[in-house]
Structure formats: structure tokens, C-alpha cells
């Protein structure tokens, strides 16, 4: 490849990313979702509300008599069991779901890569000890961990509230507990995958070469081995964000995730699933939050794939 300009590798990667049409489109879609979700509370402000269509200005937790209205001009996404506007609840829920996914994935990424790379690179006894520890945690169903963690935290918060902690503070603590719990149970697979990759790489000729040339362990790991694993880490991270968002939706289904009146996309879908009966089909309660969830996760994944292709050090050049 001829480089006529003096661009750094990262600038070149960003340039490649922007040329990747599907990824760029997904990034714009994601940006649009984030923008709508962030700006949503502004729509119901008194200064702005009269100038917008009435369907955009319903507050998310205003209960009304209009239960189970199908989608229509007044309520674009219909209404739920309490007559609340589904569109505003979906926007509200998407914001929480995105927050949960990002923070949880960041937690799991940091722990998983550090752990897996160290184990794979050190090899031998260290590898055994570190991966047996992962095995032990792995071998416990994570759901039991999370349930015990979150129910204990809720009991603790209940006591704190009785002792005079404000409701807002308790809510933030609960969020923090949810992030920590989700991140702490989802780093194991990342560690295993990174370790497996490092294990196959550490006996390859270019690693031996730099070791012979006197490179330090940290340098070999960070400069020579990890760059070869970036693709896998990135792809796996794009799988981690959705899986954390999904995990949260599962917890919401159990009633342990985001607590009402707050809502996440998962808790909206879960409450829609409760309304399934063989007489009337309230499809909008599942389809709209579900489609928003799927769309958001699809966009996240496409962006991740685009980033992978842009930074990928393997494609074409290594062979």
C-alpha cells in the first residue's frame, strides 16, 4: 500500500472505518438513537411541547384510562396495561439499557483481557492457577451469583433506606450494583478466549524473534501479541455489550433488574410477555421494545465489525 500522506495508523483506521458504508450507516443510526434517547426528556418541557406533535410529548409514567390502545396517531407505539404511552417508555428504557451495556462491558473487558493475556503469556504454572480460578467461577452458574449479589444488595439498600438514605441515592447504588454484578460475571469468556489466542501466538516465530532480540515481557505482550488479538477482542466486545444488555433484560424478567417506575427495554419486553393470552394479542407491547432493542444491538454490532475491519492487523498484511 502506498502512503502519500503522513497519517498515523489510527487516523488511517478511522479513514477506513468511514469508507465502510454499512458500518458508517450503523454508526449514524446508533448516533440517532442516542440523540433521541438523550433529547427525549426535553420534548415534554413546557417551552417545546406545544410546537411538537402531541404523540411525542407524553411523559413515560403518566397513567391513564386508555389501556392497551393499539398504535395510532395519538400513541404511535400504543399504550400498555396502565395506559402509559409506549413510545416514551421505549425511549426511556433504551437510555437505561445502553448505559447498563456500556458500563458493564467496560468492566468485563478490562478484567477479562488483563487476566487472559497474562495467563496465556506466562504459561505453565501461572496459567494453570489463573485458569483454574476462571474454571471455578465459570463452573458456577452465573445466574446464581448475580441473584445472590443483587438480592443481598437490595436487602442492604432496604436497611439503608430505613436508616435515612435518600431514595435517589439508593437508586444510584442499585445501578452501581447492577453494573458491577453484570461486569463481574461476564469477563470469564473474554479471559478464556484471549488466553487461547495468546497461547497459540506465544510459540510463533515472531515472538521468539523479539524475545531473542531482548524485548521485555511487557513489550512482547503489549506490542507483539495483543495487537494480533485485537480483532478477536473487538469482536468479542461487540458481543459483550449486547449480551450484557440481554442479561439485564433477563434480570428484569425475573424482577431483579431495573425497578419500576424506571424501565429498561428488557423490563418493557418482560411486562409485555406477561400480557400474552390466547384471546387478544397485544403484539405492540413486545414488538416495539423488542425491535428497538434488536435495532440498537444490530447497530452496535455493525459498528464493532466496522471497527474490527478498520483496525484489523491480520487482513491481507500478515500473510
Partner 1 sequence: MYFLKRILFMGPLLVLISFLAFVMVRVAPGGPFDRERKPASPEIERNLRAKYHLDEPVLRQYLRYVDGIVHGDFGASLKYRNRSVADIIAQGLPVSLSLGAMAFCFAMGTGIPLGFFTAVHKGAWGDYLGSFMALFVICIPGLVIGPVLIMLFAIHWRWFPVALWGSPWHAILPTLTLGLYFTGRVARLMHEGMLATLPSEFITTARAKGLGEMAVLIRHAFPIAILPVVSYSGPMLADLLTGSFVVENLFQIPGLGVFMVNSSLNRDYTLVAGLVLLYAALLLVLNLAVDFLFSALDPRVRYD
Chain residues binding partner 1 by CB under 8 A are 22, 123-124, 132, 135-136, 138-141, 143-145, 147-148, 151-152, 155-156, 189, 192-193, 196, 199-200, 203-204, 231-232, 235, 239, 242, 246, 249-250, 253-254, 266, 269-270, 272-273, 276, 278, 281, 283, 286-287, 290, 293-295, 297-298, 301-302, 314-316, 318-319
Q: Which is nearer to partner 1, 43 or 282 (CB)?
A: 282
**SS3 labels along 255-272:** CCCCCCCCCCHHHHHHHH
Smallest gap, in angstroms, from Cβ of residue 48 to partner 1?
32
Smallest gap, in angstroms, from Cβ of residue 281 to partner 1?
5
Smallest gap, in angstroms, from Cβ of residue 31 to partner 1?
18
Smallest gap, in angstroms, from Cβ of residue 233 to partner 1?
12
Smallest gap, in angstroms, from Cβ of residue 112 to partner 1?
14
Alpha helices in 85-187 (DSSP H): 86-122, 124-138, 142-162, 167-185
Q: Distance (Å, rounded) from C-alpha 175 to C-alpha 157?
A: 12
Q: How many CB atoms lie within 10 A of CB 226?
A: 18
Q: Distance (Å, rounded) from C-alpha 98 to C-alpha 109?
A: 16
Q: Distance (Å, rounded) from C-alpha 245 to C-alpha 65?
A: 32
Q: How many CB atoms lie within 10 A of CB 154?
A: 15
Q: Which is nearer to partner 1, 58 or 98 (CB)?
A: 98
Alpha helices in 163-264 (DSSP H): 167-185, 188-201, 205-212, 217-219, 226-254
Q: Which is nearer to partner 1, 22 or 261 (CB)?
A: 22
Q: Which is nearer to partner 1, 43 or 236 (CB)?
A: 236
Q: Which is nearer to partner 1, 107 or 229 (CB)?
A: 229
Q: In terms of Cα–Cα distance, which of 67, 134, 107 is closest to 285?
A: 67
Amino acid at each position: 500500500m502506498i502512503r502519500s500522506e503522513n497519517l498515523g495508523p489510527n487516523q488511517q483506521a478511522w479513514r477506513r472505518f468511514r469508507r465502510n458504508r454499512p458500518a458508517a450507516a450503523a454508526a449514524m443510526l446508533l448516533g440517532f438513537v442516542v440523540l433521541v434517547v438523550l433529547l427525549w426528556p426535553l420534548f415534554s418541557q413546557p417551552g417545546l411541547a406545544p410546537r411538537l406533535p402531541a404523540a411525542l410529548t407524553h411523559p413515560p409514567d403518566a397513567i391513564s384510562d386508555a389501556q392497551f390502545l393499539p398504535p395510532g396517531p395519538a400513541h404511535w407505539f400504543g399504550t400498555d396495561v396502565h395506559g402509559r404511552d409506549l413510545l416514551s417508555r421505549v425511549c426511556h428504557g433504551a437510555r437505561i439499557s445502553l448505559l447498563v451495556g456500556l458500563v458493564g462491558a467496560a468492566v468485563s473487558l478490562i478484567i477479562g483481557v488483563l487476566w487472559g493475556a497474562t495467563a496465556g503469556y506466562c504459561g505453565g504454572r501461572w496459567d494453570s492457577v489463573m485458569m483454574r480460578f476462571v474454571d471455578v467461577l465459570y463452573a458456577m452458574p452465573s445466574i446464581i451469583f448475580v441473584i445472590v449479589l443483587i438480592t443481598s444488595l437490595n436487602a442492604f439498600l432496604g436497611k439503608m433506606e430505613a436508616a435515612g438514605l435518600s431514595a435517589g441515592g439508593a437508586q444510584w447504588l442499585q445501578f452501581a450494583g447492577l453494573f458491577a454484578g453484570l461486569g463481574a460475571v461476564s469477563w470469564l469468556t473474554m479471559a478464556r478466549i484471549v488466553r487461547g489466542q495468546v497461547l497459540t501466538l506465544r510459540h510463533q516465530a515472531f515472538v521468539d524473534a523479539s524475545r531473542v532480540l531482548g524485548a521485555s515481557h511487557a513489550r512482547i505482550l503489549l506490542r507483539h501479541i495483543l495487537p494480533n488479538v485485537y480483532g478477536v477482542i473487538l469482536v468479542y466486545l461487540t458481543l459483550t455489550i449486547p449480551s450484557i444488555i440481554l442479561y439485564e433484560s433477563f434480570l428484569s424478567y425475573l424482577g431483579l433488574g431495573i425497578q419500576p417506575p424506571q424501565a429498561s427495554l428488557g423490563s418493557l419486553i418482560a411486562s409485555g410477555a406477561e400480557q400474552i393470552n390466547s384471546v387478544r394479542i397485544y403484539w405492540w407491547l413486545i414488538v416495539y421494545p423488542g425491535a428497538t432493542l434488536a435495532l440498537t444491538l444490530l447497530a452496535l454490532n455493525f459498528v464493532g465489525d466496522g471497527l474490527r475491519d478498520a483496525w484489523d492487523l491480520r487482513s491481507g498484511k500478515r500473510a
